[in-house]
Chain A
Amino acid sequence: MTTAENKNELVAGKMTKQEFKSGFWRSCALQGCFNYERQQGLGFGYAMIPHLRRIYKDDEEGFKAALKRHLTFYNITPQCTTFVQGIAVAMEEEASENKEFDASSINAVKTALMGPLSGIGDSIFWGTLRTIGLGVGLSFCMQGNILGPIMFLLIHNIPHWIVRYKGLEIGYTQGMSFMENATESGVLEKFTVAAKILGATVVGSMIATMISFTTTITLNMGNYQTLALQSVFDQIMPKFLPMVLAVTCFQLIRKGKKTTTVMLILFLAAFVIAFLEGLAIFAPAA
């Protein structure tokens, strides 16, 4: 770890609060010029401009090369970008001072971080926080309570902005060693599994609360006896139909069926059920 500490000592100090602030706000615009070829590349370069201008203040050629370097392909969970940005800034400082330093390693590190960080970021922000936020927010929305969208936004965005803000600082001051330590000690893996547990619990509850699938189909048993199908399902277990429906859809998707295919199946089923419910012989007794 001594080499990493030495590196930190070397790079510390070039960034003032002003570049940090500017780089932080610019990191929000990561996908502003999104395109299929470079994806977030231009956005990353845009965010690096204030940092690079400081680092290469007296080195015109160095600035040009560095700017071009950061306009290349880049893609990451946007909420996590500042961590990579911080590391890139630290490495650029190193490159500007140490002529032996191979500048191409900067993009190599960026590229190496994209995959794993996006994996963690997607599962935390998209998988877990969004799911929990929706689980809580949706129940308010269904009651027509304005707290629904507000709770949702708070649950996702408070962690989002903490990660975004802290990421730049951590990435800049201790980025490389931080990633190594976190991966080696298994903290990241533990965290991802814990997030998955939380997400799965909330998803399970959503099956029960969010799918309002019931039927009015009633069988005529003769002798004026009728049997409402729904009451049979309710005796088996509460929310039986939603559970069967969700598990069926889940299985179809797991088997690789396209989303649009499943959607069409659902539409078809809906029309069949609606048609049956409309028939006089299945109508509930008046």
Chain B
Amino acid sequence: MFLIQCILIALVHVLGILDGRIFGQNLLNTPIVEATLVGIICGDVVTGLTMGATLQLIFMGFVGIGATSLPNSSAGTILAVSFAILSKLEPEAAIALSMPIALLFQPCGIIPRIFNNIWNVKCDEAADKGDFKAVERYFWYGVCAFAVVYFVPMFLAVYFGSGAVEAIINVIPKVVLAGLNKASSLLPALGIALLMNYIVDKDAIPFMILGFVLAAFMGVSSLGIALIGLAIALVYYNFKGTSEEDY
């Protein structure tokens, strides 16, 4: 049973990477999705969901746009939830561990992207001969490289890590755990700040304030706020353009 769980958990990691490779980027590698899947596999969906929410905020800014290499938020998410459920680690402590785990697993993203350079020349040679079947074959070898590099370390980490983590937690001093817990409540600010950096410029600040006030002072739900934002965006879209000045 445990073995099957380990395999399935490792497959979540593979699914996360293959989503952006061959399934068209549906954002399945987002922490809330992966944490939920791991929660289902480990038999505790609610823990998966709630931990996923916090992990999501921590990793918010770490999205793989372009070729930049980032800490592996998927690995951090998957292992944090696995350890919390399988090793009964405090969720807050598991969440604080997710960041170092993400850094540790960063090479998973880099190795296949370097290795796959070899297919460039091979594909060029095949194209010169008009051998499109060979191009397709090399292409799928590249996909396999991603799958293998994401499966193996994750499987080993879950299989051998769960017990080790349990033993380590018992010797961690209380103040360290308290610090880790506190960190898990502060770190989401970084994720949101990175998101702000991405969308909010001078023109958009008023709308950010509006969103904050609606949520903090009036307690409007997030769907309600999204709809208010949509209404304003539509007003802008429909009325802008009659003259250049009316910004």
A interface residue numbers (CB < 8 A to B): 27-39, 41-43, 45-46, 49, 52-53, 60, 63-64, 67-68, 71, 75, 78-79, 122-123, 126-128, 130-142, 144-146, 148-149, 152-153, 156-157, 160-161, 164, 186, 190-191, 193-214, 237-239, 242-243, 245-246, 248-250, 252-254, 259, 262-263, 266-267, 269-271, 273-275, 277-278
- Considering the chains assembled together, what is the distance between the CA atoms of A132 and B226 in angstroms? 7
Asked whether, in the complex, the Cβ of B135 is within 8 Å of the Cβ of A206, the reply is no
Residues of A within 8 A of B180 (CB): 270
Known: A139-B222, A142-B50. 17 other contacts (CB 8 A): A29-B24, A34-B146, A35-B115, A35-B116, A45-B139, A63-B132, A200-B208, A201-B225, A205-B220, A206-B211, A210-B53, A213-B186, A237-B217, A243-B212, A271-B183, A274-B181, A275-B178
Asked whether, in the complex, the Cβ of A197 is within 8 Å of the Cβ of B236, the reply is yes
B3 at the interface (CB under 8 A from A): no
Q: State how many angstroms separate the Cβ of A194 from the closest Cβ of chain B.
A: 4
Asked whether, in the complex, the Cβ of B192 is within 8 Å of the Cβ of A207, the reply is yes
Q: State how many angstroms separate the Cβ of B144 from the closest Cβ of chain A.
A: 10
Asked whether, in the complex, the Cβ of A205 is within 8 Å of the Cβ of B140, the reply is no
Residues of B within 8 A of A198 (CB): 226, 229-230, 232-233
Asked whether, in the complex, the Cβ of A71 is within 8 Å of the Cβ of B135, the reply is yes
- Considering the chains assembled together, what is the distance between the CA atoms of A82 and B30 in angstroms? 23
Asked whether, in the complex, the Cβ of B179 is within 8 Å of the Cβ of A274, the reply is yes
User: Given A135-B225, A270-B179, A259 and B50 touching (CB < 8 A)?
Assistant: no
- Considering the chains assembled together, what is the distance between the CA atoms of A197 and B209 in angstroms? 11
Residues of A within 8 A of B117 (CB): 35-37
Task: Write the chain A residue with the least CB distance to B126.
Answer: A67
Task: Write the chain B residue with the least CB distance to A213.
Answer: B185
Task: Write the chain A residue with the least CB distance to B61.
Answer: A259
User: Given A134-B56, A202-B225, A278-B178, A245 and B233 touching (CB < 8 A)?
Assistant: no
Asked whether, in the complex, the Cβ of B198 is within 8 Å of the Cβ of A31, the reply is no
Residues of B within 8 A of A275 (CB): 175, 178-179
User: Given A35-B116, A200-B205, A253-B197, A271 and B179 touching (CB < 8 A)?
Assistant: yes
User: Given A27-B24, A32-B22, A75-B67, A203 and B199 touching (CB < 8 A)?
Assistant: yes
Residues of A within 8 A of B217 (CB): 237-238
Task: Give 24 pairs: A residue, B residue, CB < 8 Å, sorted on A.
Answer: A64-B127, A68-B128, A79-B25, A135-B226, A141-B36, A141-B52, A142-B50, A144-B46, A148-B53, A152-B27, A152-B30, A156-B27, A194-B233, A195-B233, A196-B199, A196-B204, A200-B204, A201-B210, A203-B196, A208-B215, A214-B185, A243-B216, A259-B190, A263-B99
User: Given A36-B117, A148-B53, A203-B199, A239 and B216 touching (CB < 8 A)?
Assistant: yes
Specify which of B182, B201, B209 is in contact with A274 (CB 8 Å cutoff). Answer: B182
User: Given A253-B193, A271-B183, A37 and B120 touching (CB < 8 A)?
Assistant: yes
Specify which of B25, B112, B138, B195 is in contact with A78 (CB 8 Å cutoff). Answer: B25
Residues of B within 8 A of A156 (CB): 26-27
Specify which of B62, B116, B187 is in contact with A266 (CB 8 Å cutoff). Answer: B187
Q: State how many angstroms separate the Cβ of B143 from the closest Cβ of chain A.
A: 4
B49 at the interface (CB under 8 A from A): yes
Asked whether, in the complex, the Cβ of B175 is within 8 Å of the Cβ of A278, the reply is yes
Render B105-134 as a binary contact track against A, CB cut-off 8 A, 1 for contact: 000000011111101100110011110100
Q: State how many angstroms separate the Cβ of A184 from the closest Cβ of chain B.
A: 12
How many pairs of residues, A versus B, come closer than 8 Å at their CB atoms? 360
Asked whether, in the complex, the Cβ of B185 is within 8 Å of the Cβ of A148, the reply is no
User: Which residues 146-194 in B have Cβ within 8 Å of A in the complex?
Assistant: 146, 175, 178-183, 185-190, 192-194
B8 at the interface (CB under 8 A from A): no
Asked whether, in the complex, the Cβ of B36 is within 8 Å of the Cβ of A149, the reply is yes
Q: State how many angstroms separate the Cβ of B16 from the closest Cβ of chain A.
A: 13
B223 at the interface (CB under 8 A from A): yes
Asked whether, in the complex, the Cβ of B199 is within 8 Å of the Cβ of A123, the reply is yes
User: Given A29-B22, A197-B236, A35 and B189 touching (CB < 8 A)?
Assistant: no
Asked whether, in the complex, the Cβ of B139 is within 8 Å of the Cβ of A43, the reply is yes
Asked whether, in the complex, the Cβ of B57 is within 8 Å of the Cβ of A190, the reply is no
- Considering the chains assembled together, what is the distance between the CA atoms of A49 and B134 in angstroms? 12
**6 shortest interchain CB distances as A-B pairs:** A204-B211, A33-B142, A201-B229, A28-B24, A249-B193, A208-B215
B104 at the interface (CB under 8 A from A): no
B33 at the interface (CB under 8 A from A): yes
User: Given A33-B138, A197-B233, A67 and B130 touching (CB < 8 A)?
Assistant: yes
Residues of A within 8 A of B27 (CB): 130, 133, 152-153, 156-157
- Considering the chains assembled together, what is the distance between the CA atoms of A152 and B34 in angstroms? 12
Q: State how many angstroms separate the Cβ of A136 from the closest Cβ of chain B.
A: 5
Asked whether, in the complex, the Cβ of A249 is within 8 Å of the Cβ of B215, the reply is no
Pick the most buried of A31, A153, A201, A248: most chain B CB atoms within 10 A of its CB: A201
B43 at the interface (CB under 8 A from A): no
User: Given A42-B138, A49-B135, A78-B25, A190 and B240 touching (CB < 8 A)?
Assistant: yes
